[in-house]
Amino acid sequence: MDRSVLKELEKMLPKGLLLYDEPMSAHTSFRIGGPADAFVQAKEADEVKAVLSFGREKAIPVTVIGNGSNLLVSDKGVEGIVLSIKDGNTQVGVPVYEDGEKAVFQAFAGMSLSAFSKGAAKLGFIGTEPLAGIPGSIGGAVAMNAGAYGGEMKDVLKSVRVLDKELNEAVLSNGELELGYRSSRILKEGLIVLSAEFELKKGSAEEALERIAELNKKRKEKQPLELPSGGSTFKRPEGYFAGKLIEDAGLRGFRVGNAAVSEKHCGFVVNLGGASCAEVKELMEQVRERVFKNSGVVLEPELRMIGRK
Ligand SMILES: Cc1cc2nc3c(=O)[nH]c(=O)nc-3n(C[C@H](O)[C@H](O)[C@H](O)COP(=O)(O)OP(=O)(O)OC[C@H]3O[C@@H](n4cnc5c(N)ncnc54)[C@H](O)[C@@H]3O)c2cc1C
């Protein structure tokens, strides 16, 4: 990668925003991934647009990520620019619309979904409680149509502001987003989420916060949150649970190097310390083969893979 071209982008951005050869293991919940040629963490829409238009103009690939909680990044790193849309804001803004029964809130794609859900609950607006334990950004959660405990993004999204490949801006309504099980038009068409509008009902702040605490407790009991992972490794096949199929194939604790099927929840692959992407991939391949042999069910990855082949 020609550094001199990237230097031009570095000069256009606030000082220190562009990092060279940044290890992606520092930006993924799996703690896995080689260096990105360049890494920019954008905290506002203008920075997102500046990086994307620069990449387009100079024909440099730009890979958009959020909080990196659903990613498996190559050990060889990522070519071009990794653009992380993520900010540390935890404040839910004033509603853009409110009547006595509901309100519409707008949030930047880089805000943490968990912070948004808790903030809205505190204000007495309900609907996002089941999503509050998902460790992603709002943009990533829209792209994945993230969901948990009977709720999904589709239930609470009103609309989303996006950029298409030509960097045209548009607002897509919930219906236009084609939100399905861990799928969306965002992923299919490579759209970029800049912000989202949530429509939430008025309710009891106390009850909503209690529900969040209860679900987070459940999550902590069931999921291996004490070890790095990318969340559920495989999608839930219709009529089955991936974790149960893996357990039934005798793979609880199964290891390849330092990557292992979690002892606590077989639906998770965990990094026991210094695991490589190659180890996780090999483990996933063996799990798929053995589950297929045992049950005839084909597991499809939920993790999104990025980086050099
Ligand atoms: C411990 C743990 C528990 C989890 N539990 C759940 C759960 O209960 N339910 C669930 O659904 N998921 C769960 N996940 C997975 C993950 O948190 C979600 O998929 C989350 O929505 C990913 O958001 P992110 O910001 O981390 O996205 P990333 O992992 O950074 O990216 C995921 C995908 O979204 C795209 N993307 C990210 N931001 C944008 C944007 N602004 N515009 C366009 N595309 C974008 C990326 O290109 C990539 O394809 C869990 C993960 C972990 C580690």
* 157-166 pLDDT per residue, tens: 999 999 999 9
Could you tell me if 18 and 38 are in contact, meaning their C-beta atoms sit under 8 angstroms apart? yes
CATH class entry, domain 97-221: alpha beta
Classify domain 3-85 at the CATH topology level.
3.30.43
CATH code for residues 224-306:
3.90.78.10
Ligand 1, atom 2, lies closest to the CA of 231
Q: Is 231 in the pocket of ligand 1 (CB under 6 A)?
A: yes
Cβ density class 276-298: b for 16+ within 10 Å, e for less = bbebbbebbeebbebbeeebebe
For the chain, give every domain's residue range. Answer: 3-85, 97-221, 224-306
Three-state SS string over 127-155 comes to CCHHHCCCCCEHHHHHHHCCEECCEEHHH
Q: What is the pLDDT of residue 1?
A: 76
Dump pLDDT digits (tens) for 205-235: 999 999 999 999 999 999 999 999 999 999 9
Name the catalytic one among 47, 129, 199, 302: 302
Q: Is the pLDDT of residue 2 over 90?
A: no
Match 């969306």 to its residue by tokens: 184
pLDDT in tens, 64-97: 999 999 999 999 999 999 999 999 999 999 999 9
39 pLDDT exceeds 90? yes
Is the C-beta atom of 141 inside 6 A of ligand 1?
yes
In this prediction, residue 298 has a pLDDT band, given cuts at 50, 70 and 90, of very high
- The alpha carbon of 136 and the centre of ligand 1 are apart by a number of angstroms equal to 5
pTM > 0.85: yes or no: yes
Comparing 3-12, 142-151, 293-302, which segment has the lowest mean pLDDT?
A: 3-12
Given this chain, do its domains 3-85 and 97-221 carry the same CATH topology?
A: no
| Active-site pick, 25, 84, 232, 276 | 232
Q: Cα(98) to centroid of ligand 1, in Å?
A: 29
For residues 272-280, average pLDDT: 98
